[in-house]
Every structure is written in C-alpha cells, then in structure tokens.
C-alpha cells in the first residue's frame, strides 16, 4: 500500500470516528430531565427528603446578617434573620403567610401582596419544579441551547398550573440548575427576577447550591451563602404557624 493511499485510509478512519452516527439528534427534553435528576442525586433521594434546615449569611443593601430557614413537606416554611439583636421572621403554614417585625411591634401579622406571593412560591417549590413535573400538571418545554455568561445552557420553560412561567437554565456540563428567571408584577409595575445558583456541594448524596443570588431587573437584591444544610430534621408543624 502506497504512503498516499495509507494516509487516505487513516484520514477516512479518523473521519469515521469523529463524525456523529447517522440519525444522531440533540438530547430530548426527557433525556435532559433524566440526566438532571441523576446529577442532583437521583429522584428517589429527592423524594425521600421531608424537611430542610439551612443556616448561613444573607447579604443585602443593609449589610450582612445571619439567616436560618426551615422547610417541611409539602409547603411549609419559616425564615429567620437577625439584625442588631432583633429577629425578623417570615413564615407560611400552608395557608397563611405571616411576618414578625420587632420594629413594628411584638405581634405577628398576616401579609398579602407580592411579598406573600413570593413566600408562597418559595414554599410550594419544596422540590425542584422538574421533579415529577408531569404528575404536578406542569408543562415543560425545551426552548433550546444557548450561552449564559459564556457558558452553554439548556433553556427550559416551566409553566405551572396558574399559567405563570419560569425560565430554567441548566449547566450544559453538570446539568445542574444555574439560573432561573420569572416575571414579577406589583400593581402596574413589571420586572424580571432572576435567581442564580452556584457553589454546589454534596449533602447526603444530593447536590445543593451553597450560594444563591437574587436580582430584580439586573440589580442584586440579596445573596445567601450557606454554612450548613441539613435534611430530614424533625420539625413540629407549630414552628410554621403564626403566633397568637
């Protein structure tokens, strides 16, 4: 075999290896969701979580304060922040969103409006929106693949039962959540809120972000850095009820 022919053979073999097989396609929505759940730690492990306690630090316009959050399945939550020796609490028992602000008096009060809607949204998203989304009645569409901050991302659109949509961006390499955006409405004002997830660590075999930053119309409104995250901590439901 001449050297020229041998070279052609090697080139053809290399092309055969490098070329995708006929009929190869971009991953489907089901493929992406399955790989995402596997990257998180597996659907069974995620479903087995009944409560979550987090402790960390919240950085906002007023500075940095310690924050402790409690969440219990299906949709109860409580968040405590301490500033200048006073503890501020926002809670949701599945029906009523309430707040205790020592600067406004010793009594807890029910709250409504956009702040309450955001608290309910956080509580209702105990699990990832992609876990068992069909059973929840959510509609998920694969918008496509696009770069975010220079990184390739899978862009998914999740439409909930109330018609509100969230844009979910999964890292193209790790398949973990990188960013989530949603539209906000407060009276006649509209804006876009974004939540960015980073600094993932494994806790009991589940990958969780230890840094979460929130922006509204591009402006940073808060960033939480967690020191500890605990799963399946015993929690009495009275913890989430508004104090009488």
pLDDT digits (tens, 9 = 90+) for 26-39: 789 999 999 999 99
Count of structural domains, the chain:
1
Using a 10 angstrom Cβ sphere, with 0-12 exposed, 13-18 middle and 19 or more buried, the burial of residue 91 is buried
Residue 118 belongs to a domain: yes
Given a cut of 90, is residue 112 above it in pLDDT? Answer: no
Using a 10 angstrom Cβ sphere, with 0-12 exposed, 13-18 middle and 19 or more buried, the burial of residue 97 is buried
User: What is the mean pLDDT of the segment spanning 182-202?
Assistant: 85
What pTM value is reported for the model? 0.82
CATH number at 137 reads: 2.50.20.10
C-alpha torsion 55→240→42→207, nearest 10: -10
Q: Give the closest residue to 108 by CA, choosing from 124, 117, 97.
A: 97
Residue 9 belongs to a domain: no
What are the two backbone dihedrals, phi and then psi, of residue 95, each rounded to the nearest 5 degrees? -130, -45
Range of the domain at 121: 25-240
Between 106 and 13, residue with greater pLDDT: 106
Given a cut of 90, is residue 21 above it in pLDDT? Answer: no
Residue 105 belongs to a domain: yes
> In angstroms, rounded to a whole number, what is the distance separating the alpha carbons of residues 164 and 216?
17
Tokens of 243: 């104090």
Residue 12 belongs to a domain: no
> In angstroms, rounded to a whole number, what is the distance separating the alpha carbons of residues 197 and 205?
18
Q: Give the closest residue to 194 by CA, choosing from 126, 226, 148, 151.
A: 148
Residue 69 belongs to a domain: yes
pLDDT at residue 5, as a whole number: 41
Given a cut of 80, is residue 178 above it in pLDDT? Answer: yes
Residue 19 belongs to a domain: no
Given a cut of 90, is residue 143 above it in pLDDT? Answer: yes
């Amino acid at each position: 075999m001449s050297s020229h022919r041998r070279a052609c053979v090697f080139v053809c073999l290399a092309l055969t290896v490098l070329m995708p097989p006929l009929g190869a396609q971009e991953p489907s929505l089901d493929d992406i969701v399955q790989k995402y759940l596997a990257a998180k730690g597996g659907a069974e492990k995620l479903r087995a979580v009944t409560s979550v306690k987090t402790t960390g630090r919240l950085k906002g316009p007023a500075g940095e304060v310690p924050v402790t959050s409690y969440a219990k399945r299906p949709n109860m939550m409580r968040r405590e922040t301490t500033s200048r020796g006073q503890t501020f609490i926002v809670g949701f028992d599945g029906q009523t969103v309430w707040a205790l602000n020592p600067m406004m008096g010793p009594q807890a009060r029910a709250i409504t409006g956009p702040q309450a809607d955001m608290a309910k949204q956080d509580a209702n998203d105990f699990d990832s929106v992609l876990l068992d989304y069909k059973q929840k009645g959510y509609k998920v569409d694969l918008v496509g693949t696009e770069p975010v901050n220079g990184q390739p991302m899978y862009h998914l659109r999740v439409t909930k039962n109330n018609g509100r949509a969230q844009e979910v961006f999964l890292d193209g390499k790790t398949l973990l959540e990188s960013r989530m955006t949603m539209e906000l409405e407060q009276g006649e004002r509209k804006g876009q809120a974004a939540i960015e997830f980073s600094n993932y660590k494994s806790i009991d075999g589940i990958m969780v972000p230890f840094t979460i930053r929130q922006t509204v119309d591009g402006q940073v409104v808060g960033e939480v850095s967690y020191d500890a995250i605990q799963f399946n901590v015993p929690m009495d439901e009275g913890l989430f009820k508004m104090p009488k």
